[in-house]
Amino acid sequence: MRNAIAMLAAVGAGFVVSPVLASSADESLDTIIVTGSRTPIATGDVGSAVTVITRDDIERRQVRYVSDLLRAVPGFAVSHSGVAGSQTQVRVRGAEANHVLVLIDGVRANDPASGDEFRWEYLAAADVERIEVVRGPQSALWGSDAIGGVVHVITRGADAGWGAYLESGSADTLNGALKGNFGDDGWSVGIGIERLATDGSNISRTGGEKDDSDVTTGTLNARLTPSDSLTIRLGARVVDAYTQYDAVDFFVTGLPADSDVAADATQTYAQLGMTAGAADARVRHHLGVHWFDSENLNLVGGLEESSSSSERATLAYQADVTLGVNRLSLALEHETTRFSQRGPVLFDDPNQDQDMDVTSAIADFEGRATDRLTWLLSARYDDNSDFRDALTGRLSAAWRLADATTLRAGIGTGLKNPTFTERFGFFAQSFVGNPDLEPERSTSYDVGIDRQFGAVGLEVSLFRQDLDDEIDGFYCPNPWPQPCTAINTDGKSRRSGAEFGLRWEPAERVGVRLGYTYTDSEDADSAAELRRPRHAGSAQFDYGFASGRGRLTLTADYGGTRFDRFFPPWPNPPEVVTLDRHWLVEVTAQLQVSDSVRLFARGSNLLDTDYEQVYGYRTPGRAAYAGIRVAFGD
């Protein structure tokens, strides 16, 4: 820990003596985000590729899961293991599903009991105000899991007004939410509850059993502002989810088949934070306590067969120092994570409890060389109880060549610690952990340009990542069906590609959005990584009518050919299979019939495309939904 403090002090001293060269650029033309650095910053000053999904974007698409919005974000690939509510994975720029860090109102939300992946199938969109996506290496800011990027989900908070909505549709889907707040300028309290339930459809290729799911989310947000220089915030979020799915028939087909199995999960998020110092103060102090807890039960015939759980507590302090037009943030964090696994004792005892501590020192400097050139330099030192101490860094720059053109570039190193499951997980028939695993480490580069041509906005990014010690989480050295394990592979794994985004507003109330991503992702043996399409894209057409009270949106998401792994029955070895490309087309319509009442309707998978994003798992067909949204008061 003394080494960490010494490093932070040295880096901080170097920043303090850096000269002030020019005045700050006008940030009023940019969206302000809280994820691109350790303090709020304008998107035009971030050297990384940034996408912001607003509340208006969410209502335009009328989706019920946040993951459905991410299909349209350049660089993202989404994989559903079946129907609504089933396991969902999100990969960024060809990286692994646990290489993208998810924050919910600043709280780390990746689940240590689920391979450090975020459980996207449990994140409904009703209470989300905005989503900030920062692509590229962010470990220097946010630590492990942020190799590929960060997705920050910001909920509607304590000042979002009163309202309710109700929606019904195909597969006996029923979705409803109620939210409200009360308070004044000095304090406010907001509460909300949402439930999304569906009878679903059959996940497996055969049989006819419907696999249903439901997820209920409750939120509480409170704010106390006793003075201009002190703000206290409290937040809590509880998610309760149940999902039926079809287990794999390892003896006959090697594919999912109708079965009475289900997953029951509970997640709890909580945070208490304080900010001392007025908005224009030279120094502002932030103190926060974050808590995450998960409980995952595996049910067979309605009875618990096994379970996994995790707890993560984080204590953080940060000081923001204004140095003329420059800004320096110094932070200390301590994180304690616990993991538990419970299951029947067969050939060995899978019951275990593990823990890990990490103490981190972070320095983040925002410098302005001129009124058009902003650079960000970040460093993070992690003192880990289980692995060697690690130092990660990031340097990026954004250069406004003109009011309509910005060049950006960045380089950064990343770190991903092995998961508890990879190290200690024990599943007698399929997997035995490897406690000797080393962290994955990466070096990433990206360059890009943002250009406005009148009514047309263009974004282009090129990226590359070299990954050392990639973890193969399902290495099978013995003849199938002997248990597999996890290993660090030799050599470098490489991901590279290009992202394109375009926005065009040819007329009032008419909008067009296009996105395309090319990804070349290979492991150390030059084999294509699984479940990463080489080509992916999205097109959206938006039309306003009835003097702006109505809106019609047509969206087409393209998922290119991708590979997956199939485990046929013994004695056949595992094999790589190809999943076909597909288009998903949806249309939404909404009409504001009064100041407080809005009607909406949505049709999904209009082409009734038969597709799979995970081998053997069918996805939903054509569906239709309709509902009403009501606002009460201000």
* pLDDT band, residue 474 (cuts 50/70/90): confident
Q: Express each pLDDT in 12-44 by its tens digit.
A: 333 333 333 333 333 334 789 999 999 999 999
Residues in the chain: 634
DSSP class of residue 171 equals G
Q: Express each pLDDT in 262-312 by its tens digit.
A: 999 999 999 999 999 998 999 999 999 999 999 999 999 999 999 999 999
Write out the two tokens for 307.
Answer: 């379970």
Amino acid at 520: D
Reported as half-sphere exposure (CB side, CA atoms, 13 A), residue 126 has a value of 25
Amino acid at 109: A
Contact 85, 241 (CB under 8 A): yes
pLDDT of residue 633: 64
pLDDT of residue 479: 66
pLDDT of residue 348: 79
Contact 191, 234 (CB under 8 A): no
Give the integer Cα–Cα distance in Å for 524 and 318: 39
Per-residue pLDDT, averaged over 441-456, amounts to: 95
Instruction: With CA atoms as reference, report the closest residue to 530 among 562, 567, 505, 566.
Output: 562
Contact 36, 135 (CB under 8 A): no
Which residues on neighbouring strands pair with residue 559, listed in sequence order? 536, 582
> How many beta carbons lie within 10 A of that of residue 60, not counting itself?
18
Is the pLDDT at 229 greater than 70? The verdict is yes
Give the integer Cα–Cα distance in Å for 23 and 361: 29
In this structure, the dihedral spanned by the alpha carbons of residues 253, 81, 493 and 36, taken in order and rounded to 10 degrees, is -170
pLDDT of residue 9: 39
508 exposed, middle or buried (CB, 10 Å; 0-12, 13-18, 19+)? exposed
The CATH label, of 3.40.50.1000, 2.40.170.20, 1.20.1050.40, 3.40.630.30, for the domain at 2-632 is 2.40.170.20
448-455 long-range contacts, CB within 8 A, separation 24+: 448/49, 448/407, 448/408, 448/409, 448/499, 449/405, 449/406, 449/407, 449/408, 450/44, 450/405, 450/406, 450/408, 451/404, 451/405, 451/406, 452/404, 452/405, 453/404, 455/504, 455/505, 455/506
Amino acid at 257: A
* pLDDT band, residue 504 (cuts 50/70/90): very high
Give the integer Cα–Cα distance in Å for 365 and 16: 10
* pLDDT band, residue 2 (cuts 50/70/90): very low
More confident residue, 82 or 23: 82
Write out the two tokens for 64.
Answer: 């019920």
Is the pLDDT at 634 greater than 60? The verdict is no
Q: Give 58-95 as a 3 state SS string.
A: HHHHCCCEHHHHHCCCCCEEEEECCCCCCCEEEEECCC
Contact 217, 194 (CB under 8 A): yes
Per-residue pLDDT, averaged over 439-457, amounts to: 95
Helices and strands in the chain: count of H runs, count of E runs: 5, 37
What's the whole-number average pLDDT of the chain? 91
Give the integer Cα–Cα distance in Å for 634 and 188: 14
Write out the two tokens for 180.
Answer: 């409200």
Instruction: With CA atoms as reference, report the closest residue to 542 among 57, 31, 51.
Output: 57
